[in-house]
Each structure stands twice: as C-alpha cells, then as structure tokens.
C-alpha cells in the first residue's frame, strides 16, 4: 500500500483526532477492590499541550505546530459480588475542548463536545487486601467504547471517533517491601471501522494497539501516596481506504503522581506526564491530570 503524502497525512491525523489515549490510562491504586456495596464517583480534569508532530517516516513538524486540550471525565463505579468475585460495573463520560490544532502552519481548528462514552467492569480474580501496605490484586477489565461522541466528517478535529472500540485490560498489584509496591497493567485495544473518514465516504481501519503501564508506588501513610509511572504503547497503524496514513500509536510516557485523602471519603490526586518518544502522532510536552474521587 502507498503512504499518504506528509501534508495530507498531517491533515488526516487531526481530522481523525479524538482522545490522545488509546487505552484507559490508570492512576495508582485503581485496581484496589473495595467491599461490595461501595460506590465511587470520580471527576477527572486533564490538560495537555504538544508542539511537535511526528509522522511515521517523515521529518518532525515543530515550526508553527501545536495542540492544546482540556478534557473532563465523569466516572461512576459500583462494587458488587458475582459468584464470590468482586466486580465493579462502571461508566466513563468524557467531554471537553481540543483547540489551537495546527501542523506546519496549517490550522486545523478546534472543537468541543462529548467524546465516546466507555462502559466496562473489573473482575478481581485475586483480592487480598491484607497483604502488605497496598494489598495484592489481579483483575481483568473489558471495556467498550460507544460511538456516540461528537463527530463531523468534514471537521478538522473531532472528539468522537464514529467507530466501536474494545479494550481488554489486565492489572496486577504486588507488595514489595515495607510501604513499597508495584503495579503492572497490560492493554489490548481493538478498533472497529469508521466509514465516514477523510474526504468523501472513505473507510478508516486501524491495527490493534498494545500498551504496558507500570507504577512504582510508595504509601507515605494511610492518607498519602506517591507513584512514579511509565507507559509504552505500540501498534495502531491506520489505513484510510487501504493507504497507510503514517499515524499509529507508538508512545512512551513518564508520570509522577501524588494522592491525598481528605477525611475518609474524598481523595484528591495530581499527576504530571511527559511523552519521551512518539512515532505517528503529536508528542505531548507536558500534561496535568487532576482527579477528585468520592467514596459513598
């Protein structure tokens, strides 16, 4: 298959842009299983900026190039018991604003609205909260992205993707020594087709994305936690009507997170992120992810 030219590639990359993350990124402690009957309401606020656009096989675009985003997510979780296994059915409702998008001086505009909702649940096959400072857990999380977000075929930027997506995530939490623990996560994301992509009624297809995430976590005390994280994604090559667009999901990212309990029912967290390597997309210079979590 032929490769689309650099200029067209840059336009397509933003025309097909939705959310930067291909899988559901984790915060430290996300795979802690709460007792059945517990509920969680979480609000995420994510800010990021990028000033570099890397096309696979083409020189990086850095002059007059950028992307800014301000994304909010409402996440609702309920913990229950099914056949002796703790399960947490949940829904994520993302929405926000992507703006000042440009590649090599070519402005691609801005957009606001709903992104694709996500439904899923974690099934804990290992649930040992009394082990170490963090507990030992292993869970399997199937997630489904619903193609209900804002999407306009002729828009330069979209938050919705006009396609179904499935993400199978595995999570393992293992105490090390004292207050230290490790978290490992593995994702495989599978994409449906978007039959309203590009100029005209072209079809976008994408190879699966594979992602590994890890956190080295230190619980300072029962109310405070620090975590140093790393994420690496591979795959996700996009083809538009059979032609490779030059866009894929090869991303490496470092993360630093601090969490603070406020009373017994509220947790606040702040996370800084930085992409160390990107091939086939925008490279994030800096990201700030804030979260407020309510237990009830």
Q: What is the pLDDT of residues 151-168, one digit of tens each?
A: 988 888 899 999 999 999
Query: 162-200 in b/e burial notation, b at 16+ Cβ within 10 A?
Result: bbebebbbbbbbbbeeebebebebebebebbebebbbee
d(CA 267, CA 100): 33
C-alpha pair distances (Å), 33 with each of 80, 165, 267 = 10, 25, 16
Q: Between 242 and 145, whose confidence is greater?
A: 145
More confident residue, 57 or 265: 265
For the entire predicted model, the pTM comes to 0.90
Report CA 41 to chain centroid distance, whole Å: 18
Q: Which structural domains are found in the chain, ordered by start?
A: 6-295 (2.40.128.130)
3-state class (DSSP) for residue 11 = helix
pLDDT value, residue 245: 87
The Cα 21–Cα 203 span in angstroms is: 21
Two tokens at 216?
Answer: 């080295």
pLDDT at position 36:
97
pLDDT digits (tens, 9 = 90+) for 184-201: 999 999 999 999 887 767
Residue 109, phi-psi category: left (phi > 0), alpha (psi -120 to 50), beta (remainder): left
With vertex at residue 100, the alpha carbon angle to CA 276 and CA 207, rounded to the nearest 5 degrees, is: 50
Helix/strand/coil for 137: strand
Higher confidence at residue 202 or residue 117?
117
Backbone angles phi, psi at 9, to 5 degrees: -60, -45
How far is the C-alpha of 127 from the C-alpha of 6, rounded, in Å? 50
Q: What's the Rg (C-alpha) of the chain?
A: 19
Q: Which pLDDT score, from 0 to 100, does residue 229 have?
A: 98
φ, ψ at 128 (rounded to 5°): -125, 80
């Amino acid at each position: 298959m032929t490769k689309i030219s650099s200029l067209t590639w840059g336009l397509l990359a933003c025309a097909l842009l939705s959310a930067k993350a291909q899988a559901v990124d984790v915060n430290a402690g996300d795979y802690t299983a709460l007792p059945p009957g517990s509920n969680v309401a979480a609000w995420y606020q994510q800010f990021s900026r990028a000033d570099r656009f890397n096309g696979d096989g083409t020189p990086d675009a850095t002059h007059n190039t950028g992307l800014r985003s301000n994304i909010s997510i409402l996440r609702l979780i309920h913990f229950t018991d099914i056949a002796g296994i703790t399960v947490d059915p949940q829904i994520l409702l993302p929405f926000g604003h992507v703006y000042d998008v440009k590649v090599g001086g070519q402005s691609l505009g801005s957009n606001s609205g709903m992104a694709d909702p996500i439904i899923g649940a974690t099934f804990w096959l290992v649930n040992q909260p009394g082990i170490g400072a963090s507990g030992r857990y292993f869970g399997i999380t199937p997630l489904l992205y619903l193609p209900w977000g804002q999407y306009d075929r002729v828009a330069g930027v979209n938050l919705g993707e006009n396609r179904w997506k499935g993400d199978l995530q595995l999570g393992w939490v293992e105490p090390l020594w004292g207050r230290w623990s490790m978290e490992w996560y593995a994702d495989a994301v599978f994409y449906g087709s978007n039959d309203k992509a590009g100029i005209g009624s072209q079809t976008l297809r994408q190879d699966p994305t594979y992602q590994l995430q890890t956190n080295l976590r230190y619980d300072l005390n029962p109310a405070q936690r620090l975590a140093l994280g790393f994420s690496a994604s591979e795959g996700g090559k996009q083809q538009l009507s059979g032609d490779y667009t030059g866009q894929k999901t090869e991303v490496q990212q470092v993360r630093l997170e601090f969490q603070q309990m406020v009373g017994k029912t509220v947790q606040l967290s702040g996370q800084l992120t930085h992409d160390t390597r990107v091939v086939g997309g925008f490279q994030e210079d800096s990201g700030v992810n804030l979260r407020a979590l309510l237990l009830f």
